[in-house]
Amino acid sequence: MDIINKRSNLILSILLFVIIASRLFTLGAYPLMDKTEGRYAEIAREMVSSGNWITPQIDLGRPFWGKPPLSTWLTALSFKVLGISEFSARLPSLLLSLFALALVFLLVKRLTNTTIGLLGALILFSTGMFYLLAGGIMTDPALMATVTLSLISFALALLTPDKLHQRFWGWAFFAGLGLSLLAKGPVGWILTLMPIVLWVIWKKQWHKVRVTLPWFSGTILTGVIALPWYIAAEIKTPGFLKYFIIGEHFDRFMIKDWSGDLYGSAHGQPIGIIWAYLFMGLFPWVIIFIMAAFRLRKKYRNEANSEISLWFPFMVFWFLSPALVFTPVRNILPTYILPGVPGFAVALALVYEAAARYAPSSRRPWYISRNILLTISLIVPVFSCAVAVPITRIYFRGNSQKNTVAFFEKLETYQSATLNYYDKLPYSAQFYSRGRARHIPDEDPKILASEFSDNDRDYFAITETDMEKLPFAVTNLMEEIVRFGKYILLREKNT
């Protein structure tokens, strides 16, 4: 059966709706995980609680300089509108992902037709990394959405002959640059400009780019969007710019096991590991792309004057840019490939379109048939809903303090008691307790022992490892109530 016909539009639309709905309904199905989700959700909760919308705070009075505030603003706004919950914490990432999906649809539709546009959207949302992070509480979805806005606006500005539309998409390109500075900083510019520069050199498009984009007014727009917050942040907490620009964008990536991280530890990895992350993050579609693109490479070269032939390399440069940028970098995470995933979806959609044109249905290779396409698109959502979410709820609950805090809150003495975390205070404990959980440092067990000298009946969450290190004189003052993961919840004994 042909993948390009009117019936296909309905099938693709229904399937896309079902896959998006599956992600929507799982947003609140599992607890916030430490450290990343718990940290960014707590920063947003603290923003709502404190009313300080300029400086994100990791604790009350302690600024978080690690990332700009765009994703925090969106999460805090979601909390204000919907209340504080796992669902409202994850919803902004889904909305940002849907925004990127809509842009991908627009571009692919402009280059081909509605059916292939829907196919591109389907490929995007069913790609492993994209589907996962469409509900992740972190800064990467915001960076991905802003980079996608700039790159697709760039393409649409050059594709449209209408001057008014050219101006609109040109401004959207520069707006994306400004928003990317608010999403994750200068790295957004690097991931945006690299594919553009490579493509312009490859396809000799310097003149068209120069005369099409509104460089002067667009640059002003970028500054108007981004600079006010950067200036206000430095004024409110001096030292921010030095730490964020130098520390987070140079030292973090160039110094293995960088010790200057104020909010955690650097992620030392082998050089070049980003390529493995790219392959895994684009699963399952990356295998199809490699086979189909290799088969059709000569066809694209023969279409030297077509729009698809012109823009296909741009999409390849786009999805490879994160890997190219981070190849020499040691301190990276798998999520760093996310800004390139929309470009991959566009590229693969164009490959499918070419396959539909060049080969009749009876002679198409198995891996580009419609049935295989529809089956592959369900792999990640089905696995996530049927396997990953249940496993996360059961086996990874030790990475979240939701159960510990909930158990504590059910106790009769809740109003007159305090929940104390010894050694480290997990971010999820701060989030679920609405900031009530207290931190007791481990420098000296006497600090913990001093908690028993007041009149309150306190509760303590201590890891099994830390419990073994405490002297008997301290542990004898507590009784175990319950265990969740590696944490033991203890109660001060009646005296």
For residues 48-75, give the mean pLDDT: 94
Contact 56, 72 (CB under 8 A): yes
In this prediction, residue 304 carries a pLDDT of: 55
Q: At 493, is the pLDDT very low, low, confident or very high (cuts 50, 70, 90)?
A: confident
For residues 409-425, give the mean pLDDT: 82
Residue 2 pLDDT > 80: no
* Residues forming beta bridges with residue 482, ordered by sequence position: 489
In this prediction, residue 300 carries a pLDDT of: 58
Of 130 and 359, the one with more pLDDT: 130
Of 297 and 150, the one with more pLDDT: 150
Contact 361, 287 (CB under 8 A): no
Rounded CA separation 320/62 (Å): 37
Rounded CA separation 62/49 (Å): 14
For residues 202-228, give the mean pLDDT: 97
In this prediction, residue 294 carries a pLDDT of: 76
- 89-93, 112-116, 347-351, 412-416: which has the highest mean pLDDT? 89-93
In this prediction, residue 257 carries a pLDDT of: 63
Rounded CA separation 355/3 (Å): 10
In this prediction, residue 61 carries a pLDDT of: 84
Contact 404, 412 (CB under 8 A): no
Strand 62-63 versus strand 57-59 pairing type: antiparallel
Identity at 237, one-letter amino acid code: T
Q: Is 65 helix (H, G, I), strand (E, B) or coil?
A: coil
Identity at 157, one-letter amino acid code: A
For residues 308-336, give the mean pLDDT: 94
Instruction: Name the average pLDDT for the chain.
Output: 89
Buried b or exposed e, range 228-255, using 16+ CB within 10 angstroms: ebbeebeeebeebeebbeebbeebbbee
In this prediction, residue 1 carries a pLDDT of: 39
For residues 178-196, give the mean pLDDT: 97
Each residue of 435-468: pLDDT tens digit?
989 998 876 667 777 777 666 778 999 999 999 8
Residue 199 pLDDT > 50: yes
Each residue of 232-244: pLDDT tens digit?
999 999 999 989 9
